[in-house]
Amino acid sequence: MSEDPIRAGEIIVFNIDGTQDPIVHRVVEVHERRNTGVVDALTKGDNNPTNDRPLYASGQHWLHQHHILGRAVGFLPYVGWTTIILTEKPIIKYILIGALGLLVVFSTG
């Protein structure tokens, strides 16, 4: 990731303390720490009504540099829905895996 400070409006990839799944959301506000040049970020999903503070670890109000994994360089609308559907509806995941398994079995000659 470049050393340029994060700015409001950028889309970043980050992890929350205690979780493994990366999150991709837009920076809505930045906070520059006094006399350090270090910038902390507040994020919000584009389709979410409020900022991401309820997602952050207890007592955490900003994302710090060590939380940020990178910046988005492209845009694929609605791709995130795949993850949400497969997470919230595990039966769909099993059906998809079963269908792919059948495809492999029947495609070999």
Buried b (16+ CB within 10 A) or exposed e, 53-73: eebbeeeeebbeeebbeeeee
User: Model-level pTM greater than 0.75?
Assistant: no
Looking at the chain, the whole-number percentage of residues with pLDDT higher than 90 is: 46
pLDDT of residue 11 exceeding 70, the answer is yes
pLDDT at residue number 47 = 87
Q: What is the tens place of the pLDDT at every residue in 64-101? A: 988 999 998 887 888 878 888 888 898 999 999 999 99
pLDDT at residue number 28 = 96
* Helix axes 80-88 and 90-107, enclosed angle (nearest 10): 100
Q: What is the tens place of the pLDDT at every residue in 55-74? A: 998 888 999 988 999 998 88
